[in-house]
Structure 1
Amino acid sequence: MDVTQARRLPHGGLPVSALGLGCAQLGGLYDPMTELDALALVDAAWDLGIRYFDTAPYYGFTLSERRLGAALRARARDAYVISTKVGRLMRPDPGVRPGECGWAAPLPFRPHYDYTYDAVLRSHEDSLQRLGMDRVDILYVHDIGRLTHGDMHAHYWNQLTEGGGFRALERLRAEGAIKAFGLGVNEWEAIADALDVCALDCVLLAGRYTLLEQASLAPLMDRCARAGTSVVIGGPFNSGILAGTNKFNYEDAPRAVVERVQALAAVCREFDVPLQAAALQFPMAHPAVVSCIPGAQHPAQLRQNAAWFGQPLPAGLWDALRRAGLLDAAAPVPAP
């Protein structure tokens, strides 16, 4: 699979590279990253032909946006695509401590959920300031959903719908300030609900359509394909469990998940295929998917991801996974 292949969003025609870079690590997710290492990671991505970069105000409590902007500003703006997110306003707070929310060395800003019209416009402008750029290409509504907000979900959903959050995004797109918008979530159900009330250009779905789990296939992925809503796959390793760690959904993986991953890995070994290669390539076969954006801690890891992404895989692998009951029989699979 070609890392540099540009796939266009059906709505608006924005091109994104098939392999992108998720930039949570630039914000120090779990482990600290120096300024020089952050710059080296983005430079390595550029050298590999990656031209799509996803960040968020929440990553490192504004640190990721600042670092990504510094790394890309000298390059021709039309040569790459940036997405960032709205839904949290970052307010100064000297009480922020290392390790909060998984960020090794967050900056002194604390997130406050707000999906209203004014907050979306403010968040967009704040992101431009941190990036040091005059525009971003895609805005995702970050972390909206029942699992995220619990009893407060109806309140925040009302902010996004009746409170004008979606209307603000539509305004930004109509004015040309952004080219596309959608949701960036870990809950596919939130995307399905959003599609009932708003036409989304694209969505970033993290961890819910992967080699490990395909429950979202019929209710969401196929629906997105029919609607022309592009899907960007985040978390293709399900927080690391498919890449050799014990993390699943940002926590220690339960036994049932570990056993399923072991079964997936056993089938891959029969075909001399790294589990990571299968995990990166599987979701790309779905017609709604335009890009896959794993993160990386350092350039060598990023180059390994690119090698796995481009490694030829035998068709028999997918047939064997289906026979073992490890892959949804209706899921599209990569061509050999």
Structure 2
Amino acid sequence: MRQPEMNVTRLGLGCAQLGGLFDPMAEADAYALVDAAWDLGIRYFDTAPYYGFTLSEHRLGAALRSRPRGEYVISTKVGRLMWPDPGVQPGECGWAAPLPFRPHYDYTHDGIMRSHDDSLQRLGLDRVDILYVHDIGRVTHGERHAHYWKQLTEGGGFRALAQLRDEGAIKGFGLGVNEWEVIADAMDVCALDCVLLAGRYTLLEQASLAPLMDRCAREGTRVVIGGPFNSGILAGTNKFNYEDAPAAVVERVRAIAAVCRDFDVPLPSAALQFPMAHPAVVSCIPGAQNIDQLRRNAHWFSQPLPAGLWTALKDAGLLDPAAPVPAA
């Protein structure tokens, strides 16, 4: 079993909000958020060129640059090159105030190498620890999936990532996606150190349990959980997969919330803690719009929960019977 160097804290910080996801974030507030995360003991930070069209990487690097480099872990992503474009408008792709760069998909060997170099310059750091191939899959690309998959496989994308790892430029690589199926496809052709799975192994969804999560545990591929609130539906909003939640999802969440209330457990606390029980999972990286939300997440993540909660959820058919659950 491979054991990549992933000294990540169990609770990390997803940094899409630093790029102004849906709502703008002032630069001073972005720096204060990272400082508050540091004070809470968080030492794992995940970003991407796509977040704010490079804004998140700029801000995260500036916020961490004075910290001892050996004391934190940064992951960023490859698969999109950011090209200057003065026509970028506020609100594009959900970014409230994006910088004037537009994403272009490129999963080739040279594209991966260029993306890595560009991220280092934006972050102002000499290295990143983990690279994830960002947003690839049949749902993401539709009829273009085969084209981009060929870039990643036959076009040398995976080879570039393995080269960076073998040369010591990064500690590990994998996929950062919302589609668990493409991770399984990637594991068939490449040894992945780690994956960032967003929204597909949560208190609401466990379809990936046997086909992917258990396989990751067997093969030593570490899993970072992104989107633990399924875009917000498990934290009090009506958003699911970045859109308004369908009625069936709303009803299921209401049923889960009712069981949580019976045990006097906040729904977001159960949502943050549930995926951590799986042996493949090493970290959970919710985002935060402000310091108060960050501190709430940290509290929810650490508060004790009764073992009976998980039993009740399984008895009600709201949780996969085979899913590992946290200890009391």
1:183-332 mapped onto 2 (5 Å cutoff): 183-332=175-324
Report the Cα distance in structure 2 between the residues aligned to 1:237 and 1:14, rounded to whole angstroms. 24
The AA in structure 2 aligned to 1:165 is G
1:150-189 mapped onto 2 (5 Å cutoff): 150-189=142-181
SS at match of 1:53: strand
Identity over aligned pairs, percent: 83
SS at match of 2:189: coil
SS at match of 1:210: coil
The answer to whether residue 9 in structure 2 is matched with residue 17 in structure 1 is: yes
SS at match of 1:317: helix
Q: Once the 2 structures are TM-superposed, how far is the Cα of residue 296 of structure 1 from its aligned partner? A: 0.1
- The Cα offsets for residues 233-282 of structure 1, whole Å up to 9 and x where unpaired, read as 00000000000000000000000000000000000000000000000000
Contact 1:55 1:85 in 2 (8 A): yes
Report the Cα distance in structure 2 between the residues aligned to 1:20 and 1:93, rounded to whole angstroms. 32
1:20-99 mapped onto 2 (5 Å cutoff): 20-99=12-91
Contact 1:24 1:55 in 2 (8 A): yes
Q: Once the 2 structures are TM-superposed, how far is the Cα of residue 93 of structure 1 from its aligned partner? A: 0.2
Report the Cα distance in structure 1 between the residues aligned to 2:211 and 2:191, rounded to whole angstroms. 16
- TM (normalized to structure 1)? 0.97
Provide the residue aligned with 1:333 in structure 2. 325
Contact 2:4 2:172 in 1 (8 A): yes
Q: Once the 2 structures are TM-superposed, how far is the Cα of residue 191 of structure 1 from its aligned partner? A: 0.1
Q: Once the 2 structures are TM-superposed, how far is the Cα of residue 27 of structure 1 from its aligned partner? A: 0.2
Q: Once the 2 structures are TM-superposed, how far is the Cα of residue 55 of structure 1 from its aligned partner? A: 0.1
**Superposed structure 1 runs of 4+ greater than 6 Å apart:** none
SS at match of 2:28: helix
The AA in structure 1 aligned to 2:189 is V
Contact 1:10 1:230 in 2 (8 A): no
Q: Gaps (5+ residues) in structure 1?
A: 1-8
Q: Once the 2 structures are TM-superposed, how far is the Cα of residue 12 of structure 1 from its aligned partner? A: 2.4
Report the Cα distance in structure 2 between the residues aligned to 1:289 and 1:182, rounded to whole angstroms. 14
Moved more, 143-152 or 10-19: 10-19
SS at match of 2:255: helix
- The Cα offsets for residues 146-186 of structure 1, whole Å up to 9 and x where unpaired, read as 00000000000000000000000000001100000000000
Report the Cα distance in structure 1 between the residues aligned to 2:285 and 2:182, rounded to whole angstroms. 20
The AA in structure 1 aligned to 2:142 is G
Report the Cα distance in structure 2 between the residues aligned to 1:71 and 1:199, rounded to whole angstroms. 33
Q: Once the 2 structures are TM-superposed, how far is the Cα of residue 327 of structure 1 from its aligned partner? A: 0.1
The AA in structure 2 aligned to 1:312 is P
What's the RMSD between the two structures over aligned residues?
Answer: 0.7
The AA in structure 2 aligned to 1:215 is A
Provide the residue aligned with 2:122 in structure 1. 130
When the two structures are aligned, how many residues end up with a matched partner?
328
- TM (normalized to structure 2)? 0.99
Contact 2:77 2:131 in 1 (8 A): yes
SS at match of 1:15: coil
Report the Cα distance in structure 2 between the residues aligned to 1:252 and 1:163, rounded to whole angstroms. 37
Report the Cα distance in structure 2 between the residues aligned to 1:248 and 1:107, rounded to whole angstroms. 26
Q: Once the 2 structures are TM-superposed, how far is the Cα of residue 10 of structure 1 from its aligned partner? A: 5.1
Report the Cα distance in structure 1 between the residues aligned to 2:148 and 2:156, rounded to whole angstroms. 11
Q: Name which of 135, 147, 151 aligns with 1:143.
A: 135
The AA in structure 2 aligned to 1:117 is H
Contact 1:210 1:236 in 2 (8 A): yes
Report the Cα distance in structure 2 between the residues aligned to 1:14 and 1:213, rounded to whole angstroms. 26
The AA in structure 1 aligned to 2:179 is E
The answer to whether residue 96 in structure 2 is matched with residue 104 in structure 1 is: yes
